[in-house]
Amino acid sequence: MTAFKLRIEPAGVEIPCSAEGSLLDAALAAGYFPRHSCRRGQCNACEARVVSGDARYPSGFEPEGVRDGYVLTCQARCTTDVTIEAHEVASTPGQRVLQTGARVLEVQRVSEDVARVRLAVPTETGFAFQPGQYVEVVLRDGARRSYSMANAPDESGTIEWHVRAVPSGRFSNHVYRSLKPRDMLRIEGPFGTFMLRDSSAPVIFLASGTGYAPIAAMLKAHETVIQQRGAVLYWGGVRLSDLYAYDEVRAWEQAHPGFRFVPVLSGDEPGWTGRKGFVHEAVSADFPNLSQHEVYACGNPLMVDAARHTFTLANGLPAGNFFSDAFVTRPEPVKTDERV
């Protein structure tokens, strides 16, 4: 195994980097969390500037929308010692990416196409996550699916996912067909830097569908901070049933001064008198000036991209104040005898 050195500026971090693994893998293994999201080379959140050295992509990978002199750290491999510039590098003491088993505690249908799944991770593994992060389910053949935690971290080792049924979705169909309490899953994580920043800026949370899950984790874990800073959650769906935790969020709103909930529907819903249209457009209309805010957006990649574009160009949001996690699904045919 060929070993090189990876240096991350301006943090001044220097860690070993294998030619067989990505730059991001090397950082995570050392306990550092450069900005990243999908880990598949699709969202470009992990883009970093190459200061010196050479890093190359695996054969067949073609990045889209990456600036000259930059690489996607989730795909690029060291071919020499490399220095990159990644301005956002979180180091969480005691937190490491690890692979472990997780036992299913509960599978609860919360809407016609969303299930709440609760799992127990053995506390002796040392697994720990920050609100907003996600883990990957590792299937028998090595394929992976990503799910954000929807609960605040606690000492019990319990994690909660919100799993939407995806047409021909291999793991989500397994959840709906046969996953039950006491079943064991293999997970790896945590991943992601979609976490509430230490700031006094008022917060706009923006979600579509199950993009609410990591935001729910932030709300539960940072209850006092969010009330002090002031926050509004805009949650969009086609139908009211897409907002599967509607009553829960309304109750949270009533119990927490300083927090406001704005549901937005883009489809026809009998009897609906609330906001209609695209959820990011509702934010743009309500907040013509976002220059002093932070925005945390999660869900459909098209919504996240549209929000970033609109808020930075039309509403004065500083680009560095937009934090996102775009959900990318992986539908694929499922054989009737296929096992996860």
- 240 three-state secondary structure: helix
pLDDT category of residue 334 using cuts at 50, 70 and 90: very low
- 328 three-state secondary structure: coil
Least confident of 40-49, 118-127, 140-149, 193-202: 40-49
Q: How many CB atoms lie within 10 A of CB 291?
A: 11
List the domain range (segments joined by +) for residue 15.
3-91
Shared-domain flag, residues 225 and 295:
yes
pLDDT of residue 88: 64
Q: What is the CATH number of the domain that holds 51?
A: 3.10.20.30
Write the CA distances from 99 to 16, 121, 258, integer angstroms: 20, 11, 38
pLDDT of residue 283: 99
Tens of pLDDT along 154-180? 989 999 999 999 888 889 989 988 999
Place of tokens 């060291």: 78
Q: What is the pTM (predicted TM-score) of this model?
A: 0.84
Instruction: Quote the number of domains for the chain.
Output: 3
Shared-domain flag, residues 234 and 317:
yes
Of 252, 277, 296, the C-alpha closest to 263 is: 277
Q: Is residue 255 part of a domain?
A: yes
pLDDT category of residue 288 using cuts at 50, 70 and 90: very high
Shared-domain flag, residues 171 and 256:
no
Higher pLDDT residue, 334 or 251? 251
Shared-domain flag, residues 177 and 252:
no
Shared-domain flag, residues 251 and 229:
yes
Q: What is the CATH number of the domain that holds 307?
A: 3.40.50.80
Q: What is the CATH number of the domain that holds 159?
A: 2.40.30.10
Asked if 67 and 80 count as a contact pair (C-beta separation under 8 A), the reply is: no
| E strand or H helix that includes residue 67 | none
Higher pLDDT residue, 274 or 335? 274
Q: Is residue 331 part of a domain?
A: no
Strands in 157-293 per DSSP E: 158-164, 184-191, 203-208, 231-237, 259-265, 275-276
Write the CA distances from 202 to 12, 31, 319, 325, integer angstroms: 31, 29, 16, 19
> Which of 144, 160, 191 is a domain's end point?
191
Least confident of 89-103, 217-231, 275-289, 326-340: 326-340
Q: Is residue 65 part of a domain?
A: yes
pLDDT of residue 337: 33
Residue 317, both tokens:
């949001």
Shared-domain flag, residues 11 and 109:
no
Q: Is residue 38 part of a domain?
A: yes
Say how far apart CA 178 and CA 26 lie, in whole Å.
36
Say how far apart CA 166 and CA 317 lie, in whole Å.
33
Say how far apart CA 41 and CA 72 lie, in whole Å.
7
pLDDT category of residue 3 using cuts at 50, 70 and 90: confident
pLDDT of residue 332: 45
Place of tokens 């009998």: 270
Shared-domain flag, residues 232 and 317:
yes
Least confident of 91-100, 156-165, 248-257, 291-300: 91-100
Buried-state track 96-118, b at ≥16 Cβ within 10 A, e below 16: ebbebebebeebeeebebbbbbb
> Which of 57, 74, 91 is a domain's end point?
91
> Which of 46, 69, 91 is a domain's end point?
91
Buried-state track 295-326, b at ≥16 Cβ within 10 A, e below 16: bbbbbbbebbebbbebbbeebebeeebbbbbb
pLDDT category of residue 306 using cuts at 50, 70 and 90: very high
Least confident of 64-68, 77-81, 269-273, 314-318: 64-68
Shared-domain flag, residues 207 and 322:
yes
Whether residue 338 is predicted with pLDDT greater than 50 in this model: the reply is: no
Q: What percent of the chain has pLDDT over 90?
A: 71
Whether residue 15 is predicted with pLDDT greater than 60 in this model: the reply is: yes
Residues 6+ apart with CB under 8 A from 72: 41, 44, 46, 47, 57, 63, 66
pLDDT of residue 1: 58
What is the arithmetic mean of pLDDT over 115-120? 98
Asked if 35 and 109 count as a contact pair (C-beta separation under 8 A), the reply is: no
Q: Is residue 134 part of a domain?
A: yes
The CA-to-CA distance between both ends of the chain, in Å, stands at 31
Whether residue 339 is predicted with pLDDT greater than 70 in this model: the reply is: no
pLDDT of residue 95: 66
Say how far apart CA 181 and CA 116 lie, in whole Å.
12
Asked if 169 and 329 count as a contact pair (C-beta separation under 8 A), the reply is: yes
Say how far apart CA 196 and CA 202 lie, in whole Å.
11
Q: Which residues pair with 164 in a beta bridge?
A: 114
Tens of pLDDT along 34-89? 888 778 888 888 899 999 999 999 999 998 888 899 999 999 999 999 999 986 66
Q: Is residue 336 part of a domain?
A: no
Of 335, 284, 287, the C-alpha closest to 306 is: 284
Whether residue 90 is predicted with pLDDT greater than 70 in this model: the reply is: no
Shared-domain flag, residues 288 and 213:
yes
Q: Is residue 340 part of a domain?
A: no
Mean pLDDT of the chain: 90
Of 181, 176, 156, the C-alpha closest to 166 is: 176
pLDDT of residue 246: 98
Using only the alpha carbons of the chain, give its radius of gyration. Answer: 20
- 220 three-state secondary structure: helix
pLDDT category of residue 114 using cuts at 50, 70 and 90: very high
Shared-domain flag, residues 254 and 298:
yes
Q: Is residue 198 part of a domain?
A: no
Shared-domain flag, residues 310 and 228:
yes
Tens of pLDDT along 226-266? 999 999 999 999 999 999 999 999 999 999 999 999 999 99
Shared-domain flag, residues 107 and 78:
no
